[in-house]
Structure 1
Amino acid sequence: MDEPTTHNPQTAGQIDEVLQKIEKTRQARRHKFYLRDEKITLSHGSGGKSSHNLIEGVFAPAFSNPLLDAMDDSATFNIVGTNPRLAFTTDTYVVSPLFFPGGDIGRLAVHGTINDLVTSGAQPLYLSAGFILEEGFPIADLRKIVGSMAESAKEAGVFVVTGDTKVVQRGKADGVFINTAGVGLAHPTWQPGQNRLQAGDKVLLSGPIGDHGIAIMLAREALEIETEVQSDTAPLHTLVAALFAAVGDSIHCLKDPTRGGVATTLNEMALSSDVAIALDEHAIPVHSEVRGACEILGLDPLTIANEGKMLVIVSGEKADEALAAMRKHPLGRETAIIGSVQSSPEGMVFLRTDIGGMRVLDMLVGDPLPRIC
């Protein structure tokens, strides 16, 4: 970690206290995640610590294999005797409300699945769509959702090629849940992985954070906060294609910071690569409306879900080229370099604050925004 500079207003004692906290947390993280809960809670769906405890405690050991163990957003593989490589992913959407400023559950399902494929450097091709419908759900609303999915798929150049429908009793599904899976052509040479970060890499973020989570919360709770925040849901395959055209294999990792936000996503990377990630608070783009809503609600924008943003880890010498390429794209105009990768303290993410201090940036704990996607 960089030594504190002389202009840092923290006292030497405060700095030592922060460093001791970092070391204590780092030692605890050597043991990764443990599932101690006896029943499922909403926090297990947050994407934060509870989700990781559940995955590591139940699913990962049961289904362990080389493709799954990488814990990336999609798996890439070769079918025996064929080339090129394929990418495959799946996701389920339970967002509430079903319709929200900037989108709906159908649009979200298409974009989210595309973006999970994109994190493996893949060109999205085909999607599946599975619907769990509640008895009594209005057909008119279902038509709107399906129409939104069809429009989003057409805009992105992908096809919904298979699906399934199930109906459950009234009160058992909260309207509609959607499961999607996606297949794409993986990049011919690039190997995805959140374990590929190296000291000296730069962290790029494709735009302002927190819009989706705040839009959902305000729509759900009908809070008396005057704002026009809309979900940032968007397919990011063309943005990432432009990035690959500019810097290619200099990209070390791609992740869309959905549940758990930027903080949780970067912690996953740091743990997988045994590196530290240092962020500069002043460099992280946040719309003023989102920042204001977070202050009122006691939330941190860095742990709020996004559905149209990409975190890019790229070698330091190519960072400026990557930044320029992303800013030329309509979905990357506000891209910023928000931090860097360091060799230690391993598995940690920390934030250099606007007032010159430093704090540990941990994964999301609890679930302040359930049913966010």
Structure 2
Amino acid sequence: MNVMAPGNPPSGRLRAERVTLAHGGGGKAMRDLIDDVFVAAFRNPEMGEMEDQARLTSAALAEPGAQLAFTTDSFVVDPLEFPGGDIGTIAVCGTVNDLAVGGARPLWLSASFIIEEGVEVALLRRIAASMRRAADEAGVAIVTGDTKVVGKGSADKLFVTTAGVGVIPPGRSLAASRIQAGDVAIVNGVLGDHGAAILAARGDMALTTDIPSDCRSLNGLMEAVIAAAPNLRAARDATRGGLASALNEMAEAAGVGIEIEETALPLRDEVKGVCEILGLDPLYLANEGTLVLFVPAAESEAALAAMQDHPAGRDAKIIGRAVEAHGGTVVMHTLFGGQRIVDMLVGEQLPRIC
């Protein structure tokens, strides 16, 4: 069901403090929840009219050679709220970033909510407000969605699924398979902040740290880099599995080796400390506003300068390059002058991270 209806203002009749099964039953209680929480937060001119789909137009889609980009993701982060963001912020930024790193200009999002019976309505309002703020900052619109309520114990408070649609302009082609030996690897900021923030917010380890998540949308940054370095090869956001997983995926797709310098990796001392205490590797910690990209060496300084001029790239650094040797493998030159293979994780260092 399309829940976005600008022609029907929020009823203001939702008085419940917690979600009940009646709020998922398809009747008046469900309509009050949708109108008062989600429609009120997401209202925009591109919403539908209570049909089963949003109906959208964009001049960008009519440009000869333009491509439609489409992505989807689900979010199950625990806790739902944490320093620097919440599940709603991650849902919007993560979907926007999945489009942006492929060269797309994000336009529209959908949002579906699986809500556990007993969740506080005030929490849903805060998360919906966060999603609206994140969407406005990214320049996208949440245009359709759905809600379902499940019984107590059938979910863990709230799960969010989003889908995103964007347009790749004519002539733009970014793909990991395009990376060539000699290309330079650049990250836009510090690593591991999101993973460290979630770990501290869970409270299981009695950690005291003020590290906020790096959750942010990167479409503006990508446009700035593409303008400065038009031969940009590829970009990936370093989410689950961290930088290490993103680099391994890119090395395998391109059939090249990737070498990075440990001394060049941008890490906060607080993140290093958390990792040392818990025996974690910061290369595998999740990020929600960090990407790694590859550009030809001749354009690397221009790309770096463009990133550092953008708010989402102030801490950008060159961290390595693609090489002909050891194709498909990532190697790190360590602080002590040695080398070690940076492999893919078999599982996950931290579950329920996004």
Aligned partners of 1:143, 1:358: CA distance in 2, in Å?
A: 49
Cα deviation per residue 1:97-155 (whole Å; 9 max; x = unaligned)? 00001000001100000000001111111000011111111111111111111111112
Aligned partners of 2:187, 2:174: CA distance in 1, in Å?
A: 18
Which of these residues, 318, 330, 343, is aligned with residue 349 of structure 1? 330
The answer as to 2:174 corresponding to 1:192 is yes
Aligned partners of 1:264, 1:332: CA distance in 2, in Å?
A: 21
Match of 1:122 in 2: 104
Which of these residues, 296, 307, 318, is aligned with residue 326 of structure 1? 307
Aligned partners of 2:88, 2:333: CA distance in 1, in Å?
A: 38
**Structure 1 residue 177: Cα displacement:** 0.3
> What secondary structure, in the 3-state scheme, does the structure 2 residue paired with 1:112 have?
helix
Higher relative contact order (CA 8 A, sep 6+): 1
**Structure 1 residue 83: Cα displacement:** 4.8
TM-score norm. by structure 2 comes to 0.81
The CA RMSD over aligned residues, in Å, is 1.5
Cα deviation per residue 1:223-242 (whole Å; 9 max; x = unaligned)? 33332111000001111111
Which residue type is aligned with residue 282 of structure 2?
A: P
**Structure 1 residue 341: Cα displacement:** 0.3
Indicate how the Cα distance of structure 1 residues 81 and 310 shifts in structure 2: closer, same or farther if over 3 A, else same. closer
**Structure 1 residue 192: Cα displacement:** 2.1
**Structure 1 residue 195: Cα displacement:** 1.1
Give % identity.
50
**Structure 1 residue 258: Cα displacement:** 0.2
TM-score norm. by structure 1 comes to 0.77
Which range moves more in the overlay, 297-306 or 180-189? 180-189
Q: Structure 2: state its 5+ residue gaps.
A: 1-59
> What secondary structure, in the 3-state scheme, does the structure 1 residue paired with 2:197 have?
helix
Which residue type is aligned with residue 185 of structure 2?
A: V
Could you list the runs of 4 or more consecutive aligned residues of structure 1 that deviate by over 6 angstroms after TM superposition?
A: 78-82
**Structure 1 residue 87: Cα displacement:** 0.9
The answer as to 2:225 corresponding to 1:243 is yes
Aligned partners of 1:84, 1:195: CA distance in 2, in Å?
A: 20
Match of 2:151 in 1: 169
Indicate how the Cα distance of structure 1 residues 342 and 166 shifts in structure 2: closer, same or farther if over 3 A, else same. same
Aligned partners of 1:79, 1:172: CA distance in 2, in Å?
A: 41
Q: Does the CA contact (< 8 Å) of 2:63 and 2:170 recur in 1?
A: no
Aligned partners of 2:123, 2:223: CA distance in 1, in Å?
A: 34
Aligned partners of 1:193, 1:321: CA distance in 2, in Å?
A: 20
Which of these residues, 253, 278, 295, is aligned with residue 297 of structure 1? 278
**Structure 1 residue 80: Cα displacement:** 11
Which residue type is aligned with residue 268 of structure 1?
A: E
Match of 1:201 in 2: 183
Aligned partners of 2:97, 2:219: CA distance in 1, in Å?
A: 7
Q: Does the CA contact (< 8 Å) of 2:186 and 2:292 recur in 1?
A: yes
The answer as to 2:128 corresponding to 1:146 is yes
The answer as to 2:74 corresponding to 1:92 is yes
Aligned partners of 1:231, 1:81: CA distance in 2, in Å?
A: 37
Q: Does the CA contact (< 8 Å) of 2:61 and 2:167 recur in 1?
A: no
Match of 2:296 in 1: 315
